[in-house]
Structure 1
Amino acid sequence: MADNIALVIDFLFEHKLFFTALIIVIISLIKHVIITAIRGDVAFLSDVQRKWMSRTKNGVFVLTILILFLLWQTEVSKFALSVTAIAIALVIASKEIILCFTGSIQRASSRSFVIGDWIEVGNIYGQVIEHNLMATVIQEIDLQNGQYHFTGKTATLPNSMFFTYAVKNHNFLKRYVYHHITITVTKFDNLYPLFPALIEQIDHHCEDFIEVAKRYNGVIEKHAGVDLPGSEPHIHVTSGATGEQNVHIMIFCPTERAIELDALIRQDFMQAYHQQFGTQAHA
C-alpha cells in the first residue's frame, strides 16, 4: 500500500502540469461547495454572506498560489535567474497589476470601507459586494441624481483607482440621508412668509420618525466628530442669473422615504405659493 502511494506521488511530481491541473480542479470544487453552503437557498444575499463569500474566494486564491509556488519552486527560481536582465521591463509591463495589489493593501490598512458599505469612487456610486487583491465590485446606486435605488448595474473597479480618486464612504446613507430639494420660482416674489407653514407641514410628514432621526443624527455626529446640520428641516433661498429664485429645502429622513417626502413637500410648496400669489404665479 505504501509502495503504491509512493509511486502515485512520484508520478504526480514527475508530471507537474497534470498535478497542477488536478490541484486547481480539487480546490475549485472545494471552493464551490463552500460558496454554495454559505449562499444557501436565499434569493438575496446579506452583508454577512457577502463577507464570508469574499473571504472564501480570497483565501482559496492565496492558498492556490502558495501551493503552486511550493510545487514549482525550483522552476520558478531557475526562471527568476534567467530573466534578471529583463526584470525592469517586466515591472513596467506589470505596473497596473502592482498598483492593484498595492491599492488592495492601502484599502485594507486604511479600512476605508468593508463589504456592504455605500461608497463613491470618482463619479461612481454603489454598494460594495466583493473585493479581492485585484478589484472591488459594487452594485451601482443612483445617488448622483438624488435617488437612492439600485440601478441594476454592477461595476468592477480596479484597486489602482484608489490612488487616483478619493474614496468617499456614504455608509450612513443606507438608513438616513440629508435629502436636498430645489424648487425654482420664475417670478421674484417674497417667499419667506410661506416658510413657517411649510416647515410645520414638513414636521407633520416627519413626525413618525423624527425621534429616531434625532438619535441617529447624534450617532453620526459622535462617530464623525463634527457638528452636522441636524435633523430639523432647513430652508434657504438663492437667486439665479436671470432673476429666478431657487428654494433649497434640506430634510433628514429615512433613505427609502426620501423620494416620497420630496414629492409631498413640492406639492405643499406649490399649493401654498398658488394660494399666496394667485393664478399669475409660475413655479
Structure 2
Amino acid sequence: MYAVTGASGLLGRLVLSELLNKTDPGNIIALARDPTKLSDLAAEGVIVRPFDYNDVSTLGAALVGVDRLLLISSSEIGRRVPQHRAVIEAAKAANVDFIAYTSVLHADTSPLGLAAEHRATETTIQESGLSYALLRNGWYLENYTLSAGMEIVHGAVIGSTGEARISAASRADYAAAAAKVLLDETIEKRIYELAGDDSFTLSDYAATLAEISGKPVAYQYLPEDAFRGALQGIGLPAEVARMVADSSASAANGALFDDKHALSSLIGRPTTKLSAAISAALA
C-alpha cells in the first residue's frame, strides 16, 4: 500500500495522478486534512483518510496498512519540525517500511533559510530506523511563472538573485520522481538531488517572458531588504515576503543551481523547459 500526505495539495494531486497510471487505485491511500477535497479520487477507488499534521490523533489510524509513505513537507513554515516528527513517529508505530520526504536541494549545505527545517526532518528520518529516500527538490518553475502575467504588464522582473543560475523544474517533474521512488521497492536509503536540466538567470527569465509575450520585460536587481519591501508593498504578508526575499538572495550564492541531471535520469525524460512553463502559465 502506498500513501501520500498532503494529497489534496498541488504536488500531492500530481503524485496521485502518477501513481494511478502505474498501480491499482486500491493500492493508494490519499491522506488529507479535508478528505472531501478528494471525493473524485475516492470515486475512482483510491482510499481516502483524514490526516492532519496538527492533530496527532489522526495520524496513527491513517497509516494502518501502509507499506511505503510519501511525506510531502508541510506548508506551515516554522511549524514543520514538530509536524514532521509526529508523522515519522506515527509511521514507526504503524510499522511503515519506507518513507520518502520532499526536502530541498542540497539541504545539508544550503544557505536558504527554509533549509533548516528540512535538515532537521532529514535527521529525524535517518535516525528513525526506517528505510528512506530524501527527495531534495529544487525550485518549482511555477514559483516564477505564477507571477508571469503581472511581470509582463509591468515590464519588469524583480529579485535579489543577480546573475546566478537557477535549475528549476516543473511541479509535475518532481511529482513523477516522487511516484517513481515510492513505487520502487528496491530503494531503501538514498538521497536524490533533484533539479531541472536547463538552468537560467532571472535575466534569461525576463528575456523569455518578453519573447513569448512580444512585450518588453527586463530584470531589475534589488538588494534583499528592498526586494522584501517591494513584496510587502504588493500585498505579501511580512513573513512570506521575508522568506521569498531570503530565498532570492540565497540563490545568488548558488543555492538553487545543480547540473547533475539526476531528476531527468530518474523520471526517464527531460525536465520541463522554462519556455514551456511560461507558455502554459500564460495560457
Q: TM-score, normalised by structure 1?
A: 0.24
Q: Which has the higher contact order (CA 8 A, sep 6+)?
A: 2
Structure with the bigger percentage of helix: 1
Q: TM-score, normalised by structure 2?
A: 0.24
Max Rg structure: 1
Structure with the bigger percentage of strand: 1
